[in-house]
């Protein structure tokens, strides 16, 4: 950071600290200019995060029992500066189980309950997230202001078809630049009605005449896409301007399939019930960039120290006040293993898998990662042999394993004598003994791909004899493994 940008940051921080109430409109305008990698944008984002972090810690200590506990560090012990990223290593990591077990201690006084959102536990222990009227109102005003320039630039506002599913939690009411229509794909009636919604013309003043944006869970959008194609309908004829998928990991070839099928950009959003906001997948990459109003870290799972440069660790998020007021979560580990991507803008990361589905060990006092579930999923998705999903023409017999209830992949690590044995199971569409040559070829692809994974010690430990990797292919319905709800 240059002297000029440091002076700029110090002056902005000085002015902010003199403000008693942070107006949503003003904060939206500031964050709009804080999302890039230009020097002054970086400086502004750091200032805003430092300022809001101070308010967050003060609010949490004053109004919640958990953070008021004498064991929790004072705000003054956290090194913060307008010229660098906040370093929160003095604050303990917060695990989901701790929040669930001591939920009452996380609920703040002085705000009024609006609603209770539920996250179903696909990433761990089920958890309830409490929202206040104050924060819901603030978030709505913030995003309305953030979207305003985009809305004003449009000749007509878009019509959006949303495919919601409460399985991934109750959504927070959010403003939109368009008008949303709710559809579904989980039975014959719903998916046929979704098709009619896409085909229909509307006459709504100030809005497009056709649905131009599709939004939903990845497996629902994939299901609708394949269903339309199998009905002889070219999705590109609907001329959508974009598709947003969120709520699950999307393999690279699935993103490509959707782009080619619909002929429009695919916007992949990383979100979770516990946070207001999330991260967006950068076009043409597997890299996600965090929204600037969320403080994100990649941390070492054992020590809790922040990984500043590139490296693999756990994703920890801090929900900043006033976006979150009733249930503050500071250094909250979301249950995901990620690789930090270096850069000066908002936190960038590559998703590697759920912590519970990745395999690692501590060797010579240092944690080594051996297998990432997202990498295994990517490898299994490059060939059509895997029993990932079936045809969709008759909705009554759909067997879509992407929903997660029926695993087509499983990976476990077990200590046996002086080595770690990793067993990977992959379910095929056919009996493996029918095409043994093909299965041998698939096994070579998977083994080679897992060995050649960045930040993985698998190849070195296999070569030293410390780790044994077994890749087993089974026929339809033969994979006997615990339910794995998310990659």
Tokens for 402, please give them: 């992407």
Say whether 2 sits in a helix, a strand or coil. Answer: coil
- Does 250 reside within a domain? yes
Chosen domain end from 271, 292, 313: 292
Report how far Cα 463 is from the mean position of its chain's Cα atoms. 34
CA distance 84 to 97: 31
Chosen domain end from 270, 292, 314: 292
For residues 265 and 370, state if they share a domain.
Answer: no
For residues 362 and 242, state if they share a domain.
Answer: no
Q: Provide the residue range defining the domain that includes 28.
A: 1-83+103-292
CA distance 426 to 382: 13
For residues 261 and 394, state if they share a domain.
Answer: no
Q: List, in order, residues 6 or more apart from 215 with CB less than 8 Å away.
A: 160, 161, 162, 163, 180, 243, 244, 245, 246
Q: What is the domain-level CATH number for residue 389?
A: 3.30.70
- Does 418 reside within a domain? yes
- Does 403 reside within a domain? yes
Of 203, 376, 345, nearest to 282 by C-alpha is 345
Q: What is the domain-level CATH number for residue 176?
A: 3.40.50.12780
For residues 237 and 371, state if they share a domain.
Answer: no
pTM for this entry: 0.92
For residues 229 and 371, state if they share a domain.
Answer: no
CA distance 199 to 354: 38
- Does 129 reside within a domain? yes
Of 91, 10, 90, 89, nearest to 51 by C-alpha is 10
Q: Are strands 467-474 and 419-427 parallel, antiparallel or unpaired?
A: parallel
For residues 283 and 366, state if they share a domain.
Answer: no
CA distance 328 to 343: 27
- Does 325 reside within a domain? no
- Does 94 reside within a domain? no
Per DSSP (E only), the strands in 121-258 are 127-132, 157-163, 179-182, 207-216, 242-246
- Does 486 reside within a domain? no
For the chain, what is the domain count?
A: 2
- Taking the CA atoms of 380, 384, 387 and 390 in sequence, report the sign of the dihedral they define: positive
For residues 234 and 377, state if they share a domain.
Answer: no
- Written as tens digits, the pLDDT of the chain (487 aa) is 687 888 888 898 889 988 888 899 999 999 998 888 888 999 999 999 999 999 999 999 999 999 987 566 665 555 555 566 788 888 899 999 999 999 999 999 999 999 888 876 555 678 899 999 999 999 999 999 999 998 899 999 999 999 986 654 566 788 889 999 999 887 888 889 999 999 999 999 999 999 999 999 888 899 899 889 988 999 999 999 999 999 888 889 999 999 999 999 999 999 888 999 999 999 999 999 999 999 999 999 999 999 988 899 999 999 999 999 999 999 999 999 999 999 878 899 999 999 999 999 999 889 999 999 999 999 988 888 987 765 455 555 455 555 444 568 889 999 988 899 999 999 998 999 999 999 999 999 999 999 999 999 999 999 999 999 999 999 988 887 655 546 6
- Taking the CA atoms of 60, 63, 64 and 68 in sequence, report the sign of the dihedral they define: positive
């Amino acid at each position: 950071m240059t002297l000029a940008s440091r002076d700029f940051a110090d002056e902005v921080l000085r002015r902010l600290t003199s403000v008693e109430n942070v107006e949503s409109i003003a904060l939206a305008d500031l964050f709009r200019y804080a999302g890039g990698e230009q020097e002054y944008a970086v400086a502004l984002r750091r200032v805003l995060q430092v300022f809001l972090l101070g308010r967050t810690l003060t609010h949490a200590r004053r109004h919640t029992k958990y953070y008021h506990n004498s064991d929790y560090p004072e705000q003054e012990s956290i090194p913060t500066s307008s010229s660098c990223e906040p370093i929160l290593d003095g604050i303990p990591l917060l695990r989901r189980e701790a929040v669930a077990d001591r939920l009452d201690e996380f609920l703040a006084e002085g705000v009024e309950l609006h609603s209770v959102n539920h996250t179903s536990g696909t990433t761990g222990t089920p958890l309830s997230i409490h929202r206040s009227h104050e924060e819901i109102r603030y978030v709505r005003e913030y995003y309305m202001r953030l979207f305003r320039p985009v809305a004003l630039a449009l000749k007509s506002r878009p019509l959006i078809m949303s495919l919601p599913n409460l399985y991934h939690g109750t959504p927070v009411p959010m403003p939109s630049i368009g008008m949303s229509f709710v559809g579904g794909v989980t039975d014959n009636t719903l998916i046929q009605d979704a098709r009619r919604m896409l085909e229909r013309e509307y006459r709504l003043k100030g809005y497009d005449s056709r649905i131009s944006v599709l939004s939903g869970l990845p497996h629902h959008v994939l299901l609708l896409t394949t269903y339309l194609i199998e009905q002889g309908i070219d999705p590109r004829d609907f001329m959508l301007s974009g598709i947003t998928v969120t709520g699950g990991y999307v393999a690279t070839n699935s993103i490509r399939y959707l782009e080619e099928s619909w002929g429009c950009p695919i916007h992949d959003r990383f979100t979770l019930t516990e946070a207001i906001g999330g991260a967006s997948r950068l076009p043409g990459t597997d890299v996600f960039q965090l929204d600037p109003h969320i403080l994100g870290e990649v941390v070492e799972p054992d020590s809790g120290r922040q990984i500043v440069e590139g490296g693999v660790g756990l994703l920890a998020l801090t929900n900043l006040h006033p976006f979150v007021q009733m249930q503050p979560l500071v250094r909250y580990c979301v249950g995901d293993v990620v690789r930090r991507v270096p850069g000066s803008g908002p936190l960038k990361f590559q998703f590697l898998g759920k912590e519970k589905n990745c395999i690692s060990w501590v060797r010579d006092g240092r944690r080594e990662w051996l297998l990432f579930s997202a990498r295994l999923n990517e490898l299994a998705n490059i060939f059509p042999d895997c029993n990932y999903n079936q045809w969709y023409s008759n909705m009554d017999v759909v067997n879509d394993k992407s929903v997660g209830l029926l695993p087509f992949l499983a990976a476990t690590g077990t200590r046996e004598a002086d080595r770690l044995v990793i067993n990977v199971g992959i379910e095929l569409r056919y009996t493996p003994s029918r095409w043994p040559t093909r299965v041998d070829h698939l096994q070579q692809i998977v083994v080679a791909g897992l060995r050649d994974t960045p930040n993985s010690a698998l190849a070195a430990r296999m070569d030293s004899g410390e780790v044994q990797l077994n890749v087993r292919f089974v026929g339809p319905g033969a994979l006997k493994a615990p339910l794995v709800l998310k990659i």
